[in-house]
């Protein structure tokens, strides 16, 4: 119930800000509002937290295909098959004038047999809602000074739906907010896209196991790096590394690694496949598996 009302408020905010931004723009230069003008793949894909980026790491790119001339957005769905878990997430994001991104993602972690082991019941699914906002501050991922990356700051407010589980595993709170700053650049002379993000967070497994613990409840800087090589207009391969806090006493948390390939099937549809190593999750070690994500952007 609570989740729903939050959603409704977010939806209203989205459309409100859309209409104010647009009406502010309409009278003077209605003919200049243009959507869908970005070059292929330069909007990135959707992360598991709903923001524009790689698969696991958030980038400074603004979701959707619109440039500073218009409003765009994307919807995505992601599945990750792991030895002991099944992950699904989906989300929507809206990009305003390649400047502001608002996003929502819903994450579901099916614990399968681990649910039994943890006394939650087989197939117990942990859920979380992530509300994000990102503001581009400077630079351009493609154009301009080749040494000035696109820089953005962002927040992700996360609300776990499993307060009882969070408390049982020792998480201090089922809700938390991450703050990040991100720099992304496509180095055309090398066909390489590089991203570095510093995230201040106390999330346990991105928040699915809550935030902080009795002993460790401060935001700590974590690093997310991506390196990708553009093989063609449509095809890019790369890898990512994401460090994570390790707050919970009962279960170790590891850094995440992935190797990905993203292919733009059309101007609007991008499919991403990755090998992911998510390390140890809630006592189950070696969670290595496959990620598949589909994004539709306009």
Partner 1 sequence: MISIAFALALMGVQDLPAAADIEPEVTTEVAPAPAPAPEPELERDPVTGELPVDPYEMSNAHAGATPFTGTAMRDAFHGQEGIRRVVDNMVDRAVIDPRISEIFVAHDLVRLRRTLFEQFCHILNAGCDYTGRDMESSHRDLGLQVDDLNVLVENLQAAMADEKVGFAAQNRLLSKLAPMKRDVVTR
Q: What is the distance, to the nearest Å, from the Cα of residue 209 to the centroid of all Cα atoms in its chain? A: 17
Q: Cβ of residue 176: shortest distance to partner 1, in angstroms? A: 25
Q: Nearer Cβ to partner 1, position 124 or 298?
A: 298
Q: Nearer Cβ to partner 1, position 59 or 104?
A: 104
Site stretch for partner 1 (CB under 8 A), options 6-14, 169-177, 205-213, 272-280: 6-14
Instruction: For residue 292, state whether it binds partner 1 (rule: CB under 8 A).
Output: no
Residue 17 φ/ψ, nearest 5 degrees: -65, -30
Given 83, 122, 123, 146, the residue binding partner 1 (CB under 8 A): 146
Identify the three-state secondary structure at position 43: coil
Instruction: For residue 69, state whether it binds partner 1 (rule: CB under 8 A).
Output: yes
Which among 30, 47, 126 is positioned nearest to 90, based on CA atoms? 47
Given 41, 62, 80, 94, the residue binding partner 1 (CB under 8 A): 94
Given 6, 39, 163, 259, the residue binding partner 1 (CB under 8 A): 39
Nearest-angstrom CA–CA distance, 53 and 226 = 9
Instruction: For residue 33, state whether it binds partner 1 (rule: CB under 8 A).
Output: yes
Q: Nearer Cβ to partner 1, position 31 or 218?
A: 31
Instruction: For residue 92, state whether it binds partner 1 (rule: CB under 8 A).
Output: yes
Nearest-angstrom CA–CA distance, 54 and 240 = 8
Q: Cβ of residue 292: shortest distance to partner 1, in angstroms? A: 23
CA of 43: how far to CAs of 12, 54, 93, 230, 261, in Å?
Answer: 25, 10, 12, 14, 15
Given 4, 145, 164, 218, the residue binding partner 1 (CB under 8 A): 145
Instruction: For residue 76, state whether it binds partner 1 (rule: CB under 8 A).
Output: no
Nearest-angstrom CA–CA distance, 155 and 130 = 10
The greatest distance separating any two alpha carbons of the chain, rounded to the nearest whole angstrom, comes to 63
Q: Cβ of residue 64: shortest distance to partner 1, in angstroms? A: 8
Nearest-angstrom CA–CA distance, 2 and 249 = 30
Which among 211, 209, 128, 204 is positioned nearest to 176, based on CA atoms? 211
CA of 106: how far to CAs of 69, 109, 126, 134, 168, in Å?
Answer: 29, 10, 11, 18, 22
- The site for partner 1 (CB under 8 A) is made up of 11-12, 14-15, 18-19, 22, 30-39, 67-73, 75, 92, 94, 140, 142-146, 187-191, 230-233, 298
């Amino acid at each position: 119930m609570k989740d729903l009302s939050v959603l409704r408020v977010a939806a209203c905010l989205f459309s409100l800000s859309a209409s104010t931004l647009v009406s502010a723009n309409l009278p003077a230069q209605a003919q200049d509002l243009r959507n869908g003008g970005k070059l292929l793949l330069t909007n990135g894909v959707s992360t598991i937290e709903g923001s524009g980026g790689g698969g696991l790491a958030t980038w400074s790119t603004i979701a959707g295909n619109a440039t500073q001339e218009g409003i765009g957005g994307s919807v995505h769905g992601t599945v990750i098959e792991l030895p002991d878990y099944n992950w699904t997430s989906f989300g929507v994001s809206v990009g305003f004038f390649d400047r502001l991104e608002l996003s929502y993602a819903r994450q579901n972690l099916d614990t399968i047999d681990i649910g039994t082991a943890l006394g939650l019941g087989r197939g117990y699914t942990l859920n979380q809602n992530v509300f994000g906002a990102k503001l581009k501050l400077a630079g351009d991922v493609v154009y301009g000074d080749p040494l000035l990356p696109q820089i953005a700051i962002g927040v992700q407010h996360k609300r776990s739906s499993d307060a009882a589980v969070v408390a049982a595993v020792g998480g201090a709170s089922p809700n938390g907010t991450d703050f990040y700053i991100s720099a992304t650049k496509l180095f055309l002379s090398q066909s390489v896209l590089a991203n570095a993000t510093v995230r201040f967070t106390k999330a346990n497994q991105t928040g699915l196991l809550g935030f902080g613990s009795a002993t460790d409840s401060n935001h700590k800087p974590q690093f997310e790096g991506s390196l990708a090589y553009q093989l063609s207009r449509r095809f890019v391969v790369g890898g990512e590394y994401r460090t994570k806090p390790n707050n919970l006493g009962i279960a170790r948390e590891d850094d995440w690694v992935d190797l990905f390939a993203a292919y733009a099937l059309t101007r609007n549809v991008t499919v991403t496949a990755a090998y992911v190593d998510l390390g140890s999750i809630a006592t189950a070690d070696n969670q290595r598996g496959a990620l598949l994500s589909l994004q539709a952007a306009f």
